[in-house]
């Protein structure tokens, strides 16, 4: 399974943090073997078509957030300018930004397994929209889990976006303002994906 994830990152040519610990270290496959996977991966690639680029960007979003085709279509069904904000304010991504998880994929798992509370209530929907004033915390019953080993040390050096506030001692965060597009640089081009779904 690990090799499948690593091949996907190599084929798309970008770090998607599908293996959180490895992607943050020199062992990251995109550092060790930056060429595309396969026998001819190291050869010069032909110019990719506009449709091919749009498809690649779509796949990046799908693997980065763990979404399927149906969820992607629903996401891009509305105004394209709201898509980036909707992605930034997903509970799983906010959990990642607060440092509770090492990658968006791990954050999605945490939320789905009931390790995260919003305003004191367990929330298991990764796409839950975080609003200004919402408080996000690790469930007290989950804090001894291996998922959160060493989290206190990690949070001490973490820089979080200005629209979020973190209390590292209490393992609690809060959304204090509207999300800011300038602070989150996604490893994909949302506009190209919008073009893919408007075809």
Q: Determine the pLDDT at residue 175.
A: 97
Q: Mind listing the pLDDT tens digit for each residue in 11-32?
A: 555 665 555 555 555 555 555 5
Cα 184 from Cα 88, distance rounded (Å): 8
CATH architecture, domain defined by 2-30+49-85+187-197 = Orthogonal Bundle (1.10)
Domain assignments of the chain as residue spans, ordered by start: 2-30+49-85+187-197, 91-175
Mean pLDDT, rounded, for 32-51: 62
Q: Give the phi and the psi of residue 137 in degrees, each rounded to 5.
A: -145, 160
> What's the pLDDT tens digit per position in 188-197?
888 899 888 8
Q: Does residue 1 register a pLDDT over 50?
A: no
Model pTM?
Answer: 0.76
Residue 114 reports pLDDT greater than 90: yes
Please identify which residue in the block is written with the tokens 């749009």: 54
Note the CATH number of domain 91-175. Answer: 3.10.290.10
Rounded distance between C-alpha atoms, residue 96 and residue 112, angstroms: 14
């Amino acid at each position: 399974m690990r090799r499948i994830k690593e091949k996907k990152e190599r084929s798309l040519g970008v770090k998607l943090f599908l293996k959180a610990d490895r992607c943050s270290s020199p062992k990251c496959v995109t550092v060790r073997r930056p060429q595309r996977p396969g026998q001819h991966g190291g050869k010069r690639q032909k110019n990719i078509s506009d449709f091919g680029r749009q498809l690649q960007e779509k796949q990046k979003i799908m693997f980065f957030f763990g979404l399927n085709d149906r969820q992607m279509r629903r996401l891009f069904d509305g105004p394209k300018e709201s898509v980036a904000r909707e992605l930034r304010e997903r509970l799983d991504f906010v959990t990642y930004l607060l440092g509770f998880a090492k990658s968006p994929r791990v954050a999605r798992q945490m939320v789905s397994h009931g390790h995260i509370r919003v305003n004191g209530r367990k929330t298991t929907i990764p796409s839950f929209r975080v609003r200004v004033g919402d408080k996000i915390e690790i469930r007290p019953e989950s804090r001894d889990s291996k998922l959160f080993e060493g989290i206190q040390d990690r949070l001490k050096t973490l820089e979080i976006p200005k629209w979020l506030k973190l209390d590292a001692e209490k393992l609690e965060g809060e959304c204090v303002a509207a999300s800011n597009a300038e602070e989150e640089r996604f490893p994909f081009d949302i506009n190209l994906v919008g073009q893919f779904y408007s075809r």
